[in-house]
Chain A
């Protein structure tokens, strides 16, 4: 998006000679935009290579302690090893899948309930006023302190982590859905009512679509919150999972494995983010293209 903005600026600065045809201008614009993309890509790769070699060099030459900080090639090697051999307890994929399962179940249940409660309270002022202090209080609890309690209640297995992921997600989505409902345009609601919409139709045809951009904004951060919930739960008590793997690696001072696990989680979160953006773009085709910021 921001790249498109820059291209637009560049084009507007070009002054074409009189008599330049549309086709020539279009070709020039396409070439300029391709040059721009390649330039951006080259810089990105260059910066990545520079940072990685700096890290590698610093660790190997002893400027930083390789024992604590590890270094890229060691991490890559350890990651390959983990992929091929797994850990003593299970394969890497099993650990990863378990963490994902916890996060995904927590994410979907938490956001579904968050949307339902947010829309319901947003539509009902009396209920919203009654429940406001309760919600504020619950929201004031730092979520991670619940981890030991959930493990006590639900055991070392899947469900204690799902519960933690759920509470991480629920409040964020809830408050965004609630806010989105409150911001729905009054004229649009009145229009729907006069056109014949009953309250339920107003909710589904006006309130929810107009709250959708708020809800999506919260879903983007929520998935990484769900992962945080799952991993923190595993830190506190688990037999499998990426959090457990990191905890184990720390026990035996295997820093490369800890970093390898982080790399893995980052890849997962970025992929989820990408999928979510795709879904959002598909749902939001009606929206005008974002104004090109400078």
Chain B
């Protein structure tokens, strides 16, 4: 049981209709396996199908062909073991911080008192205990991301999907958020799929980095990141392995981005 992977995509294709009614493929014969507790990063040219891939795993989207499995079972509907952190701000602006964090347990029918206790606990863990009653518009970008992390982690996800969660943050805040994420993740042991355009972010965080081709996306190359944990994100980028891997991934990605621009031109 415990050696069934957390996520399997087997020969998955996903087609969309363009506005003029033609079908086009976003994913084609796409296969990906994520082990339990593994931290995977996906990088690839814009529009290649990274968000689409995450959507298939959540069950919000359905593959046109192929199979998507979560813990060995084909995905049907939204799996409660999955958590998702969005690129855009997906907090509920009309709820204050604690009511945002408590949303998941309450949606799942937990008792109110227990849910609020747990939410307070999570707010303390992300360092926002004093901001319970603030509304999202009263928080900085970094604080909102912390709330979003607490909102996601409170459901104890066994799979965590993150779609460019920190792309809107400044560099310093982003590094702080990386350390925060690694700390929270190491306590839970969830499998993570992290989509990003930032290679340093991908290499710094992940066990495995997948480089995707331009649309229709398949996997171009796989890079194991053998940098020991716990990692200190602010220092890891000066590591020699880091620099070597970084150079290799850049080369792969550059080819695809150039192929993409040539195709578009």
Contacts and interface: CB of A to CB of B under 8 A. Distances in A.
Interface of A: 185, 187-188, 190-198, 201, 205-206, 209-210, 212, 285-288
A185 B87 CA distance: 13
A196 B135 contact: no
Nearest to A212: B94
B94 A286 contact: yes
Interface in B76-113: 78, 80, 82-84, 86, 88-96, 103-104, 107-108
Nearest to A191: B90
B78 A205 contact: no
B137 A196 contact: no
B103 A205 contact: yes
A205 to B, nearest CB: 7
Interface string B130-173: 00000111100000000000010001000000000000000000
Contacts of B218: none
Given A190-B60, A196-B155, 11 more contacts: A188-B92, A190-B90, A193-B78, A194-B58, A196-B108, A197-B103, A197-B107, A209-B92, A286-B96, A286-B137, A288-B138
A123 B89 CA distance: 22
B92 A193 contact: no
A287 B93 contact: yes
Nearest to A284: B94
A192 B103 CA distance: 8
Pick from A185, A191, A288 the residue with the most CB of B within 10 Å.
A191
A205 B92 contact: yes
B103 to A, nearest CB: 5
Contacts of A205: 92, 103, 107
Interface in B198-252: none
B50 to A, nearest CB: 15
A108 B21 CA distance: 45
Nearest to B82: A194
A103 B108 CA distance: 42
Contact of A193 (B60, B83, B94, B138): B60
B94 A188 contact: no
B84 A286 contact: no
Contacts of A191: 84, 86, 90-91
9 contacts: A190-B60, A191-B86, A194-B78, A198-B107, A201-B107, A212-B94, A286-B95, A286-B135, A288-B137
Nearest to A289: B137
A191 B148 CA distance: 10
Contacts of A198: 107
Q: Name the prevailing secondary structure of the B interface residues.
A: loop
A43 B211 CA distance: 68
B101 to A, nearest CB: 10
A209 B94 contact: yes
A195 B86 contact: no
A275 to B, nearest CB: 21
Contacts of B90: 185, 187-188, 190-191
A181 to B, nearest CB: 15
A187 B84 CA distance: 11
Contacts of A190: 58, 60, 84, 86, 90
Interface in B57-86: 58, 60, 78, 80, 82-84, 86
Contacts of B58: 190, 194
B117 to A, nearest CB: 18
A197 B136 CA distance: 20
Contacts of B92: 188, 192, 205-206, 209
A196 B60 contact: no
B55 to A, nearest CB: 8
A191 B137 CA distance: 18
A184 to B, nearest CB: 11
Pick from A185, A194, A209 the residue with the most CB of B within 10 Å.
A194
A71 B222 CA distance: 87
Given A286-B135, A286-B137, A194 B83 contact: yes
Given A187-B86, A190-B86, A286-B137, A196 B93 contact: no
Pick from A190, A206, A212, A286 the residue with the most CB of B within 10 Å.
A286
B88 A196 contact: no
Given A190-B60, A287-B137, A196 B94 contact: no
Contacts of A201: 107
A288 to B, nearest CB: 4
A195 B60 contact: no
